[in-house]
Amino acid sequence: MTVQLPLREKLLACSRMVTIRELQKAGESTLKWMVESKSEHANAADGVLSIRIPADEFDWCLLLGCIRKNGELEAYDRTGSISLRLGGGETEKDLTGRRGVYLFRNFNIVIEDYTQVQGFQQEERLPLVYCMNCSADNIEFVSIRDDETINYSPEAKAAAESQTPQDLPEVFQVRDLLLHPRTYQSQQSAGNDKEQSIMKTINPDLHKPHLISVIGVITKKKYYWKSNDQQSPRTVGVKRARQGDSNTQSFTRKLACILHVRDLQHPDTIEIRVDTSLFGLLGTLQLNCVVELTRLQGFIARSNFKVYVSWIQLTGARIVPNLTVPRDAELYGLMSTVFLNDLYFSSNIDRMLHRYVVGVVHISYVVLKRKCGLCHQALEFNKRRGVWKHFEQTESKYSRYCTWKWHQMTPSDSAFKTRTYMGTTVRCVIDDGSGQAELFLENDVAWELLTCTAGQRQRFEDILSNYVEELSYFSGRTANGSFATSKAEREQEYYQNELRAFVLNAIPSLRSIVVFAQRFYKAKEKEGMSVLTFGKDIHLTTKTVPQPKLEAKRVDRLHIRSELQQRLAQLRQRIQGTGGATRPCATVEQT
């Protein structure tokens, strides 16, 4: 291929032209140097080490490549590809319908390392995420003559075909995906006319995969290795001696990504799953940037009405610049208080985040278990050998495979803290004076409820690392059913009593708290029965509505003065709104 360049650019290209692979190697060495020297351009937050290499560091090189759209813009050549964030310039660039390559200069690179901060092992290391930022004025198009051929990749061909005009779905806010009107349907048994259960339904088309476009803020990016278990198909009529060969499994792994996209004016968040082996590492979609995602594939589960969204071949991403959005702390502070009684009479399937001022009237259980950080299954502790491992389970069609299944780790292992964690689950009943609901909390949010200090939490971490496999507190259970005879049973009972004392001491401080929670549903909820007793002879049987179930996302202490000020402000707004609506009528009556 012949490239016609000015004399000055031709001299520079002879000595300074680099490939994308060479550019990535240079960025990797610069990243290592910045980390060792603790440069101001390196920033570590939320488990991600992000650095920005300014354009001055790459003023010595030029890059020649093509541009394609794979959901986001990418610059690519024969050695690899890199995400491209194209900034505005004085001249517009048309990236479609042209035959040629592009010359890049005066660009900077952002590199994200998701491995160094979290301390993964060598076999678990995640690739570096690169993003090249370049202005449109610093890109020069080099056309290719008609007699020269260029091999378009399948991805580029598919991207060109996707440029045809299509009906774009409406762009929604994140919170619009979590609120849907519902209807009630009563199910009846085949041989009886009595109603058995009540089923909540929404638009049936929402349960089918459909295209979704959404705009929001990227608050978190998580990369992880996803294992694929490929089972060979079973055959009929084979001998028992060959059955073992037919059940052999070959396991592979691929890198996947989860994008947490938050609403612009509300703390509601959805998860978008991306297969990076098909769509790249999405380096342009950086944290805290406003992005408009079009043609995502999503559906709503029939059982719990949870929204599932994934990245497909038609998906496109567009960065929305110069749009400032409030931070999470500001959004939580502006949320108004909602009453639990509204949950019993809601006419919508509402999975949005709401604020409740409640008191904990009962703690049903608190369970602590050591879990795997990859498959989130509980681990087994072999105290004699001092190792943790997965439980031995019989293989089935629906069993979940974990790449760490056969690994045995000791608490002193360097990978123990990165591969395992202390799973915490709490179930309690809350009351705000208007109604009651069941509240479920997990991990960090559960410790926020129990007002646990860092030293107390570390104490339970050490217990679940070196001494016992599980700790639990259940209301109404005062002691073990049998007297502890062995040393292991006495140790278990001692640590159980320690957890019980900790929970009982925390209950009095939970009379007034602020809970930010979202509701979750079940497909079928049966009505319960309750017996009301009046004296010794009168017993009335009545139906009871099941308590709504909430999943807590954040727990704060209640500040009485600020809460009263917020309630007064809400009352003033209601009075002003009501007064404004009635003034015209009063004027008409006077005339």
Q: What is the DSSP string of 336-351?
A: PB--GGGGGG--EEE-
Does residue 1 fall inside a structural domain? no
- Asked if 262 and 346 sit in the same domain, the reply is no
d(CA 429, CA 86): 52
Q: Are residues 280 and 411 in the same domain?
A: no
Helix (H, G, I), strand (E, B) or coil at 45: strand
CATH assignment of the domain containing 531: 2.40.50.140
pLDDT of 380 higher than 50: yes
- The verdict on 131 and 204 lying in the same domain is no
- B/e letters for 429-461, b = 16+ CB within 10 Å, e = fewer, are bbebeebbbbbbbeeebbbbbbebeeeeeeebb
177 CB burial (10 A radius; 0-12, 13-18, 19+): buried
Q: How many residues does the chain have?
A: 591
Q: What is the rounded distance in angstroms from the CA atom of residue 150 to the CA atom of residue 152?
A: 6
- How many other C-beta atoms can be found within 10 angstroms of the C-beta atom of residue 330? 10
DSSP state of 409: B
For the cut 50, the answer to whether the pLDDT of residue 243 exceeds it is: no
Report which of 505, 504, 482 is spatially closest to residue 492, judged by C-alpha positions. 482
The verdict on residue 5 lying in a domain is no
540 alpha-carbon distance from chain centroid: 47
The pLDDT of 171-178, averaged and rounded, is 90
Residue 160: inside a domain? no
Residues with Cβ within 8 Å of residue 508, at least 6 apart in sequence: none
Q: What is the pTM of this model?
A: 0.77
Which residue matches tokens 């209640």? 558
Alpha helices in 173-311 (DSSP H): 243-246, 276-279
What pLDDT shows up at residue 426? 95
- The whole-number pLDDT of residue 217 equals 94
Residues 138 and 279 in one domain: no
Supply angle C-alpha 251, 252, 257, rounded to 5.
Answer: 130
Separation of alpha carbons 230 and 253, rounded Å: 11
Q: Is the pLDDT of residue 248 over 80?
A: no
* 485 and 371 part of one domain: yes
- For the ranges 65-79, 95-109, 535-549, the lowest mean pLDDT is seen at 95-109
Question: What is residue 258's predicted lDDT score, i.e. its pLDDT?
Answer: 93
Give pLDDT, residue 198. Answer: 58
Instruction: Read off the pLDDT band of 158 (50, 70, 90).
Output: very low
Number of domains within the chain: 3
The verdict on 216 and 89 lying in the same domain is no
In a 3-state reduction of DSSP, which class is residue 169? coil
Domain assignment present for residue 63? The answer is yes
SS3 134: strand
pLDDT, residue 558, reads: 85
d(CA 273, CA 518): 21
Provide the total of helices (H) and of strands (E) in the chain, helices listed first. Answer: 11, 32
| pLDDT tens string 7-19 | 555 544 555 778 8
At 264-323, the pLDDT tens digits run: 999 999 999 999 888 888 888 888 899 999 999 999 988 888 999 999 988 888 888 888
Residues 288 and 345 in one domain: no
Structural domain includes residue 357 = yes
DSSP string, 111-122: EEESSTTTT--G
439, 430 contact by CB (below 8 A):
yes
Q: Which of 75-89, 382-396, 440-454, 524-538 has the lowest mean pLDDT?
A: 524-538
Non-local (6+) Cβ contacts of 239 within 8 A are: none
Q: Tell me whether residue 96 is in a domain.
A: yes
Inter-residue contact 361 to 369 (CB < 8 Å): no
CATH classification of the domain holding 83: 2.40.50
- DSSP conformational letter for 56: G
* Mean pLDDT value across residues 97-116: 81
DSSP letter at 397 equals T
CA quadruple 243, 246, 250, 251: dihedral sign: negative
Token pair listed for 72: 């986001």
**Whole-number Å distance between alpha carbons of 262 and 174:** 7
387 and 534 in a single domain? The answer is yes
Same structural domain, 284 and 356: no
| Segment (H or E) for 458 | helix 454-466
Higher pLDDT: 76 or 339? It is 339
Domain that holds residue 46: 11-143
Range 236-259 average pLDDT: 56
Return the SS3 of 289.
Answer: coil
**Angle (deg, nearest 10), helices 487-506 and 454-466:** 160
CB 227 within 8 A of CB 251: yes
Fill in the amino acid letter for 143: S
Nearest to residue 58, comparing CAs of 138, 143, 142?
138
Q: Decide if 83 contacts 72 (C-beta within 8 A).
A: yes
540 has a pLDDT exceeding 60: yes
Nearest in space to 282 (alpha carbons), one of 108, 84, 135: 84
Query: How large is the average pLDDT for residues 552-569?
Result: 84
Are 125 and 214 in a shared domain? Answer: no
pLDDT bin (cut points 50, 70, 90) of residue 582 is very low
Q: Residue 192 falls within a domain, yes or no?
A: no
Q: Would you tell me how many other CB atoms lie within 10 Å of the CB of residue 279? A: 19
Written as six digits, the tokens of 547 are 């308590």
Could you tell me if 427 and 333 are in contact, meaning their C-beta atoms sit under 8 angstroms apart?
A: no
Last-in-domain residue among 304, 325, 346: 325
CA pair distance 359, 410, nearest whole angstrom: 41
Under 8 Å between Cβ of 349 and 368: no
Residues 364 and 463 in one domain: yes
pLDDT at 392 over 90: no
Q: State the average pLDDT over residues 42-69.
A: 79
Query: Does any domain span residue 367?
Result: yes
The pLDDT assigned to 244 comes to 38
Q: What is the model's pLDDT at position 17?
A: 78
Dist. CA 471–CA 363, nearest whole Å: 15
Degrees, nearest 5: CA angle 36-40-42? 60
What number of other Cβ atoms are within 10 A of residue 305's Cβ? Answer: 23
Are 308 and 347 within one domain? Answer: no
CA distance 41 to 28: 14
Single out the residue in 280, 295, 325 at which a domain terminates: 325
Write the CA distances from 518 to 309, 353, 546, integer angstroms.
18, 5, 17
Residue 374: Cβ within 10 Å count: 18
Q: What is the mean pLDDT of residues 67-87?
A: 83
- Report the pLDDT averaged over residues 465-494: 80
C-alpha torsion 198→199→202→206, nearest 10: 180
Pull the structure tokens for residue 161: 């075909």
